[in-house]
Structure 1
Amino acid sequence: MNRHTTKYTIAILFAGLISFSSCQKDFLDRKPLQLISEETLWQDPKLIELSLNEFYNFQNTGFATAYLPATNTDDLQVIGAEESKISGYLTGNFLVETFPQRNLWKDSYGQIRKMNYFIERAATAPVLSEQQRKEFVAQARFCRAFVYFQLFSNFKDVPLVLKAQLIDEAQDKPLKMNHNEGISFISTELDLAAETLPAAYPTAEIGRITSAAAQAFKSRVLLWAASPLNNVSNDLSAWQKAAESAKKVMDANAFSLQADYNDPFLKKNVLIKPEVILEYRYNGQKSEKQHGYDKNNSPAGYGGRGVNGPTQELVNEYEMKNGKLYNETGSGYDPANPYAGRDPRFEKSILFNTAPFKGRPVETFTKGKDMPTTNASPTGFYTRKFIAEDFDYNKDPNTTSSSNWVILRYAEILLNYAEAQNEFSGPDGTVYQAINDIRKRAKMPELPTGLSQEEMRVKIRHERRIELAFEDQIRYNDLRRWKLATALLNKSVNGVTITKAVNGTFTYAPKIAGGRVFTEKNYWLPIPLVEIGVNPNLKPQNPGW
């Protein structure tokens, strides 16, 4: 928490590029304005509305850095030049300066302070109509709940500060709220937001939080709360609540799966993408909101940097097109041609040796075009998901990518429902339907009938890993909430060395691509020591730190 006395002056900042549905020209696509006085702001409904937009700018985007969030899991391994930036994750030392989340506490409470102030002022501002007041406050409450979920899900127990303060809240030395009560607060806030927010907005306002978006995010929150990390006694009512929350979104018919797996990530210049619920938006305009994902992740032979390399562990999880894993009897897997005949999501997510890309086959064999002598893919694979293949990042070095970072989409809601319902009552027909809808879109066969609850659990967890690969912090938080991180993130990750013979055939040899350390203490982040120094009520520190 910032320890400086401050007087409130509000910057009018346009997130420009955050949206909770898709459109290219909406209320956020404007240039930033200069600072204006607080007195002027609260006399003008339009300026109040614009100040609210700042809160949309504090959402997750995996495109902010060259490495993706999933590099802290067993799905990706970064090139050597990037490893030092995430060494805190790789070594399990979350206290080092290189730990990516080192400012999460400070930044979150700085944003919460602004949100609290806005909520109090907007709730009583006489210049606002009753409808404006309700909608503005509801949007701010959603954004505050979103930030609080980042805090509670990472630090476990944290202070809940809900009043506007002109000086740092640490000086009040607030007590921590326990995790379960914090999640209950977030859930209630999302309910209140959902009750007040509209189902849709006029075209010029598309991108603001809707009632369905608030309910959808609640689905993620309640699934987290019901999982083994937090629901130690396996209280089935927690799973029931999570299932009901996701089902409510499904029954509202506000979102749907798009025709192609890549559509939510790569379709541009459309007003609405029906699968996208939350996303951080980029407009691709020079000197505004851009990112370098396409260049950062294309292989070296295409002028890219190839930062994030999918692991062999992830590759092995992609089924064959007949629904069997590569090592299952009857799969049809050919060791001499290991990437043929896989789940179609494989070739849409991963660049492998011989994959067609930008007019030629990828070459990840030793001395191939895409395996340079320095900073080659450590795994023998490159990421393809999120890359717009027709975007030429070499044509103009000043023009970078404009694809949006998807935070939450409808496929996750279906997966959330399937998991929660299976844990609550077993694999009934609705569980099968949710998973099979996703598999049907991917052109994969339906799940076999007659699965036990445990067998269905394995299938659902597998489907989450494939369908949601590289998205947000999903894999990392899944392994945490399932209490599997100490087993799966506490060992090396692997890749492949490929050799090309003179006759053009390839041989494949396994190799270690990188290491991971994750012990019991890593399930929760340490509370920053400087914050404990200011506020002793933040003790005790999280276990192990």
Structure 2
Amino acid sequence: MKKILAIAMILGVLTSCDKFLAEEPRSEMSVDQFFSYPTHAYNAVNILYRTGAPTFYGSGVYGGSRAMLGGYISGLFDNEYKGQEVHVQHSQNLTLNGTNLGSYFDGAWDACYLAISRANLAINNIPETPDLEESEIKLLTAQARFFRAFNYYYLVKTFGDVPLILDAYSSLDNLYVERTPTAQVYAQIVEDLKYAVEEGGLADVPMTENGYRISRSTAAALLADVYLNMSGYPLQEARYAEAAAMARSIISSGNYALIQNGATESESAYNVMRVSDNENEYVYSIEYDASIDDNYWQPAICYPNSATSWGIFAYSITNNAYRPTEEFLWIYDDENDLRVQNKQYFHNSLTYVDGGVEVTKTFETAPYLWHNDEALFETGKNPKDIVVYRYAEVLLIAAEAIAQTEGVTDEAIGYLADVQARAYWQTDRSEIVAKLSGLSFDAFIKAVWKERLRELALEYKIWADVQRTRQYPVTNENEKGEVTFVDVVGHTTIWGKTFEEKHLLFPISENERQRNPNLGQNDGY
């Protein structure tokens, strides 16, 4: 950012020396020039969809995605290529610090603050853009504030206290910003999202019916998630009532529904998720198009590295970059839970024809939800969107938040039962409701936590739940489907490493601390 500002200021000085020029070059527009037409304001918002935290969900074939880091540190997910991917090694070994992963954390920090800088620029200038209607100003500002909140949410969950910057930089003054307390960062996230939900005029329709633009429910889902996390550690602000209200607003809209199972396992809801981008279960999706910007490597991480030698893929490399460990898979009842059956969320075999002969390959369990036949076997280009929030998660947030504030009500039970009934597709929903109705408050809350582990397994929520609850899920091969929660601090992972308090946040890069001496470091690093 400093280099960009310095260059911009030098260019400004040079330009002032040549005032005789009649025209300013359009390829090097100043801020005043840029926000001259409505299209400029729209472009300033459009770029936010592809800057910062949203890009962390796209996967590389070796290193996986940044969103996977929590799964790695939890010890419940592995990467077949961790021998060269040091961020995986240090996360699993709990040896990460601001030096050995300095460049890795730089990438996340810089990307988020670039997005925040762009959002600030948009928020500050959209109201002054000529020829914009008031409704357009609100709509564009709501989207910009959503993405500012989304990026700060990633930063505060990852690093704790971070600099809170709300104005666009116009000079080199005040570059060494100190970290802002976590509570204040969260307060700004809430303010931005409340504007988006209540004042922004966002369409109250599913994102899939809104040209894949942020809708009111998208902002409400993120805000519900934020309130849920604020209710846990480190803030413990008890914002469950607000989380319930946001989740209920999405549910009561009638715009969303769980995808239903078809008649066969191949027609299950989870296989619909795998192939379809246009479902009303999707509340926030990151859109891809194979002809413009494809979600390139995600199908390639559905197979082991050895599969490269099979000679059947359109990809030159495959790698099981987010391999669920056996200990994670024991979270599921492998007899009754559809999600853990082969070719649902996960798979461990492939049958194909080679020279007229049917060949079956088996391998360690890998994600199947990202498998795409056309990309894998024909084009090498993957158009599949990445879903960040689904209606299933909204129901689970509602179930937990309502139980926390109103008790284990029929409503809370019903929302959890909806998610479970789809997974336990051969069990009558009434049986599920009856079983949940007999649970104590503590047992019901933990039943929701378990369901979040199972349902959101490939949506990277696991570490955020450990952070907010301070509880770690322990499984047992002899009691599949059962989960015991223990204090995360002091727990030893399957890799033989013991969590300390410091591991609940990641370190700030030493590179960033050298650039900004006012940052300090998280305790223990």
> TM-score range with shorter-chain normalisation?
0.7 to 0.9
Kept in 2, the 8 Å contact 1:239–1:423? The answer is yes
Give the 5 Å matches for 1:92-491: 92=94, 93-98=96-101, 100-167=104-171, 171-195=174-198, 196-200=200-204, 206-231=211-236, 237-260=238-261, 261-262=269-270, 265-268=273-276, 272-285=278-291, 288-299=293-304, 300-301=306-307, 304-320=318-334, 341-347=335-341, 348-352=344-348, 357-359=350-352, 369-370=361-362, 380-388=364-372, 390-391=373-374, 393-396=376-379, 399-444=380-425, 445=427, 446-447=432-433, 448=435, 449-471=437-459, 473-484=460-471, 487=488, 491=492
State whether structure 2 residue 522 is matched by structure 1 residue 542: yes
Deviations 1:241-293 (A, max 9, x none): 2222222222222322112432663234x6x42111112222122x7323122
With 35-44 and 126-135 compared, the bigger mean Cα shift is at 35-44
The answer as to whether partners of 2:301 and 2:319 remain within 8 angstroms in 1 is: yes
Q: State whether residues 259 and 281 of structure 2, in contact with CA within 8 Å, keep that contact through their aligned partners in structure 1.
A: yes
Which whole-Å CA distance do the structure 2 matches of 1:465 and 1:518 have between them? 19
Residue in 1 that maps onto 2:37: 44
Alpha-carbon distance between aligned partners in 1 of 2:328 and 2:218, rounded to the nearest angstrom: 30
Shift of the 102–342 alpha-carbon distance from structure 1 to 2, 3 Å rule, reads farther
CA distance in 2, matches of 1:180, 1:203: 33
Counterpart of 1:350, as a letter, is F
Query: For residue 103 of structure 1, what is the amino acid of its counterpart?
Result: G
Does the aligned pair in 2 maintain the 1:239–1:424 contact within 8 Å?
yes
Aligned to 1:56: 49
Q: Quote the sequence identity (%).
A: 22
Root-mean-square deviation (CA), in Å?
Answer: 3.0
**Kept after mapping to 1: 8 A contact 2:75/2:92:** no
Relative to structure 1, the CA distance from residue 289 to residue 211 in structure 2 (aligned partners, 3 Å threshold; closer, same or farther) is same
Partner Cα separation in structure 1 for residue 150 and residue 504 of structure 2: 20
Where does residue 483 of structure 2 map in the other structure?
none
Q: How many residues align?
A: 450
- Write out aligned runs for 1:487-506 (5 A): 487=488, 491-493=492-494
| Cα distance in 1, alignment partners of residues 38 and 490 from structure 2 | 50
Q: Give the secondary structure class of the aligned counterpart of 1:402.
A: coil
Report if aligned partners of 2:38, 2:132 keep a CA contact under 8 Å in 1.
yes
Q: Counterpart in 2 of 1:5?
A: 5
Deviations 1:280-336 (A, max 9, x none): 222122x7323122223224456543333221112211125xxxxxxxxxxxxxxxx
Name the SS for the 1:381 alignment partner: strand
Aligned to 2:91: 89
SS at match of 2:283: strand
Give CA-to-partner distance per residue, 1:374-422, whole Å, 9 cap, x none. Answer: xxxxxx322222213x3352445xx232222111111111111112222
SS at match of 1:259: coil
The residue type equivalent to 2:301 in the other structure is N
Over residues 27-50 of structure 1, what are the superposed CA-to-partner deviations in whole Å (9 max), with x where a residue is unaligned?
xxxxxxx95634654232123212
Structure 1 runs not aligned, ≥5 long: 10-33, 321-340, 361-367, 372-379, 494-513
Deviation of 1:369 after TM superposition, in Å, equals: 4.0
Shift, 1:536, TM fit = 4.2
Q: 1:456-483: CA deviations, max 9, x gaps? A: 1221111111101121x30111111111
Q: By how many angstroms is 1:239 displaced?
A: 2.1
TM-score (norm: length of structure 1)? 0.75
Deviation at 1:6, TM superposition (A): 4.5
CA distance in 2, matches of 1:383, 1:204: 28
- Counterparts in 2 of 1:111 and 1:456: CA distance versus 1, 3 Å: same
Counterparts of 1:424 and 1:124, CA distance in 2: 43
Distance 1:432 1:96 in 2: 47
Which shifted more, 92-101 or 183-192?
92-101
Residue deviations 1:484-523, cap 9 Å, x none? Answer: 3573895443xxxxxxxxxxxxxxxxxxxx5655321111
CA distance in 2, matches of 1:413, 1:243: 9
Of 77-86 and 473-482, the range deviating more from structure 2: 77-86
Q: Quote the offset at 1:128 in angstroms.
A: 1.5
